[in-house]
C-alpha cells in the first residue's frame, strides 16, 4: 500500500477550493444562457447566413430572393430607399429613353410622405457644388429686357412665391443656368416657356396648367420681381451653384437618380448634371440678346389630353369643350377644370341625388314568416295621441 502524501493532497485541495467560485459562476452563466430564449435577430441572422452560404454578394442575394414569392419580393424592393423599383425590362422608369442630351420632364414617381422619406435619405453631394458665373443681362432693346424680366419674375413667383429670398434666388439661378446650357434655349423666356406649346412637355408646370390665368398678388409679385432683377444684374445663388433641375420635396421624380443632388433650399431639392456637363466650364452658351414674344393668353389656358378608345390622344383646351369617346362612353372634357371635369347641370344633379337617395334608403322586401309562426299586429302603448 502506497504511503499517502498529505502535503501534496493539501496543496491540491487548496487550489480547488480557491477556483471553486469562478467555476460555479461560469457554470451558472452557461445554465442561464441555455434556459433563456435567443433573440429573434440572432435567429434571422443565422437563417440568412445558412441560405446564402455566407456570401453577401449577388450570388447570396439571388439565393435569398429565390425563396420569396413575387409579392414578398416586390414588397422588399419597395421598402429599399436606395433601390428604385425596376420596370419589367430591368430599367429604372424613364431611363430606357434617357440620353445625355435629354431634358427630364416633370413626370413624377413617388409622392407624399414616401417621397419626403426618399429625398431626406438621399445625401447631397456638397463636394460637387461649384459657383456659377454671374449673369448680367445685355439685351438688344429695352423691350427685350422687359420681356426677360417678366418671364423670370413669373418663374420665381409661380414656382416659389412663398419661399424665402434665398429659395427664390435659387429658382432664378436654375433658369439662368439653363440659359447658358446648350441643352436649353438661349433666352430667358425661351427657357421658362420651354415645351409650353406641347401638351406634356412643359419644363415649368405653371406654363401649361392654367396658373397664368390667376392674377398675381401684388406684394408677392413685387418681391419676386426684386429677386429676378438682382439675378439679371449678376447676383449668384451660391447654395445651388450650377444646378439645372429642382423639384418640391414632397415628390420624387423618376429622373432624380440620373442627376447629382446638391442640396435642399426651403421646400425645393436642387440637382446638377453628372460629370463634366455639370461643371461651370460647360455652361458656355451665349445669350441671344433678343427675347421671344410670349402669347400669355394662350398659355394661360390649361391644356388637357383626352385619350380615346383607339389609344389616340386628342389635345383639348380647357375653355374649348369637346366630346370624346372614353371606354366606349362619350365624355365632355375641357370645361372649367384642370382635370377634365366640368360642373354638372341641374338635370344631372337631380339624377345624382336620386341615385344617392335610392342607395341610402333601399326598398325592403317582405320576408314570409317561418312555418308555424303566427304574425301578430304590434300595438304601441303609451304613445301620445297628438
Q: What is the pLDDT of residues 26-48, one digit of tens each?
A: 555 455 545 556 667 677 778 87
Which of the four pLDDT bands, split at 50, 70 and 90, describes residue 333?
very low
pLDDT at 97 over 70: no
Q: Are strands 251-253 and 313-317 parallel, antiparallel or unpaired?
A: unpaired
**What average pLDDT does this structure show over 301-318?**
52
Q: What is the DSSP letter of 126?
A: G
Concatenating the DSSP letter of every residue in 56-90 gives -SHHHHHHHHTTS-HHHHHHHHHT-TTSPPPPTTS
- Tell me: the pLDDT tens digits for 107-120? 445 667 888 888 88
pLDDT at 124 over 50: yes
316 three-state secondary structure? strand
| The pTM of the whole model exceeds 0.85 | no
Bridge partners, residue 324, by sequence:
331
Concatenating the DSSP letter of every residue in 243-294 gives --EEEETTEEETTGGGSEEEEEETTEEEEE-SGGGGSGGG--PPP-S-PPP-
Task: Give pLDDT, residue 253.
Answer: 86
Grid cell at residue 90: 430591368
Cα–Cα distance measured from residue 92 to residue 86, given in angstroms and rounded to the nearest whole number: 5
Q: Which residue has the cell 451665349?
A: 286
**What average pLDDT does this structure show over 16-20?**
52
Non-local CB neighbours of 285 within 8 Å, separated by 6+ positions: 179, 180, 181, 182, 184, 186
Which of the four pLDDT bands, split at 50, 70 and 90, describes residue 13?
low
pLDDT at 346 over 90: no
pLDDT at 73 over 80: no
CA-nearest of 344, 341, 364 to 353 is 344
Task: Give pLDDT, residue 98.
Answer: 41
User: What are the phi and psi torsion angles at 57 (to 5°)?
Assistant: -85, -165
Grid cell at residue 216: 398675381
Positive or negative, the Cα torsion across 227, 232, 236, 237? Answer: positive
Non-local CB neighbours of 60 within 8 Å, separated by 6+ positions: 51, 52, 53, 54
Concatenating the DSSP letter of every residue in 203-240 gives SSGGGTSSGGGSPPPHHHHHHHHHHHHHHHBT---TTT
Maximum mean pLDDT: which of 163-172, 312-321, 338-347: 163-172
- Tell me: the pLDDT tens digits for 47-63? 878 888 877 777 777 78
Amino acid at each position: 500500500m502506497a504511503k499517502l502524501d498529505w502535503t501534496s493532497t493539501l496543496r491540491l485541495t487548496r487550489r480547488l477550493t480557491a477556483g471553486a467560485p469562478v467555476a460555479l459562476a461560469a457554470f451558472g452563466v452557461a445554465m442561464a444562457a441555455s434556459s433563456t430564449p435567443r433573440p429573434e435577430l440572432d435567429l434571422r441572422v443565422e437563417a440568412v447566413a445558412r441560405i446564402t452560404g455566407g456570401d453577401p454578394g449577388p450570388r447570396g442575394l439571388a439565393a435569398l430572393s429565390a425563396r420569396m414569392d413575387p409579392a414578398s419580393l416586390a414588397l422588399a424592393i419597395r421598402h429599399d430607399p436606395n433601390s428604385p423599383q425596376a420596370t419589367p425590362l430591368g430599367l429604372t422608369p424613364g431611363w430606357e429613353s434617357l440620353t445625355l442630351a435629354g431634358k427630364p420632364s416633370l413626370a413624377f414617381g413617388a409622392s407624399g410622405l414616401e417621397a419626403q422619406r426618399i429625398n431626406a435619405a438621399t445625401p447631397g453631394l456638397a463636394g460637387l457644388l461649384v459657383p456659377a458665373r454671374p449673369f448680367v443681362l445685355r439685351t438688344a432693346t429695352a423691350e427685350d429686357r422687359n420681356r426677360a424680366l417678366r418671364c423670370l419674375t413669373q418663374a420665381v413667383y409661380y414656382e416659389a412665391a412663398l419661399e424665402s429670398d434665398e429659395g427664390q434666388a435659387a429658382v432664378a439661378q436654375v433658369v439662368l443656368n439653363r440659359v447658358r446650357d446648350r441643352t436649353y434655349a438661349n433666352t430667358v423666356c425661351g427657357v421658362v416657356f420651354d415645351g409650353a406649346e406641347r401638351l406634356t412637355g412643359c419644363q415649368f408646370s405653371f406654363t401649361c396648367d392654367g396658373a397664368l390665368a390667376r392674377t398675381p398678388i401684388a406684394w408677392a409679385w413685387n418681391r419676386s420681381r426684386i429677386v429676378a432683377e438682382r439675378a439679371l444684374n449678376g447676383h449668384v445663388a451660391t447654395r445651388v451653384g450650377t444646378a439645372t433641375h429642382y423639384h418640391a420635396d414632397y415628390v420624387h421624380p423618376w429622373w432624380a437618380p440620373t442627376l447629382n443632388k446638391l442640396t435642399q433650399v426651403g421646400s425645393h431639392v436642387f440637382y446638377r448634371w453628372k460629370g463634366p456637363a455639370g461643371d461651370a466650364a460647360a455652361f458656355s452658351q451665349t445669350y441671344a440678346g433678343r427675347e421671344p414674344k410670349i402669347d400669355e393668353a394662350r398659355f394661360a389656358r390649361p391644356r388637357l389630353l383626352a385619350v380615346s378608345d383607339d389609344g389616340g390622344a386628342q389635345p383639348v383646351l380647357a375653355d374649348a369643350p369637346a366630346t370624346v369617346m372614353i371606354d366606349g362612353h362619350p365624355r365632355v372634357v375641357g370645361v372649367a377644370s384642370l382635370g377634365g371635369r366640368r360642373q354638372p347641370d341641374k338635370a344631372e344633379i337631380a339624377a345624382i341625388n336620386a341615385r344617392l337617395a335610392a342607395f341610402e334608403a333601399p326598398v325592403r322586401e317582405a320576408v314570409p314568416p317561418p312555418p308555424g309562426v303566427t304574425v301578430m299586429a304590434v300595438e304601441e302603448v303609451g304613445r301620445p295621441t297628438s
